[in-house]
Amino acid sequence: PVVAVILAGGTGSRLYPASRSDRPKQFLALGGDDDRSLLARTAARTGFADATLVATRPEFAAEVPEHAPDAEVVVEPVGRDTGPAALYATHRAREAVDGDPVVVVLPADHHVPDADAFEATMARGARVAGDTGRLVAFGVEPTRPATGYGYIEPGEERGGTGSAPAYRDLAAFHEKPDADTAAEYLDEGHYWNAGIFAWTPAALFREARGTPLGPLADALDGDDPDPEAGFWAVEPVSVDYAVMERAARAAVVPADFAWDDLGSWDALERVLDAGDPDGDGTDAADNAVAGDAEVLSVDAADNVVAGDDKHVSLVGVEGLCVVAYDDRVLVVPKEEAQRVRDAVDRLKEAG
**Residues 197/253, Cβ–Cβ less than 8 Å:** no
- Answer with the entry of ligand GDD, Mg ion, none that 153 interacts with (C-beta below 5 to 8 A by kind): none
23 strand-pairing partners: 20
First to last CA, the chain: 46
- Answer with the entry of ligand GDD, Mg ion, none that 103 interacts with (C-beta below 5 to 8 A by kind): none
| Rounded least distance, CB 188 to Mg ion, Å | 23
Q: Which is nearer to ligand GDD, 72 or 81 (CB)?
A: 81
Q: Which is nearer to ligand GDD, 289 or 344 (CB)?
A: 344
The residue among 157, 117, 149 whose CA lies nearest residue 251 is 157
- Answer with the entry of Mg ion, ligand GDD, none that 174 interacts with (C-beta below 5 to 8 A by kind): none
Residues 90-109 contacting Mg ion, CB under 5 A: 109
**Residues 285/300, Cβ–Cβ less than 8 Å:** yes
The residue among 295, 287, 258, 262 whose CA lies nearest residue 274 is 258
Helix or strand or coil: residue 277?
A: coil
**Total chain residues near Mg ion (CB under 5 A):** 3
Using CB under 6 A, list all residues that contact ligand GDD: 7-10, 26, 55-57, 76, 79-82, 85, 107-109, 148-150, 175, 192-195, 240, 261, 263
Q: Which is nearer to ligand GDD, 10 or 159 (CB)?
A: 10
Nearest residue by C-beta to Mg ion? 263
**Residues 329/17, Cβ–Cβ less than 8 Å:** yes
Residues 247-306 contacting Mg ion, CB under 5 A: 261, 263
Q: Which is nearer to ligand GDD, 192 or 205 (CB)?
A: 192
| Rounded least distance, CB 108 to ligand GDD, Å | 4
Which segments of 95-189 are extended strands (E)?
Answer: 102-107, 110-111, 135-140, 150-158, 167-175
Q: Which is nearer to Mg ion, 63 or 261 (CB)?
A: 261
**Residues 170/212, Cβ–Cβ less than 8 Å:** no
Site of interaction with Mg ion (CB under 5 A): 109, 261, 263
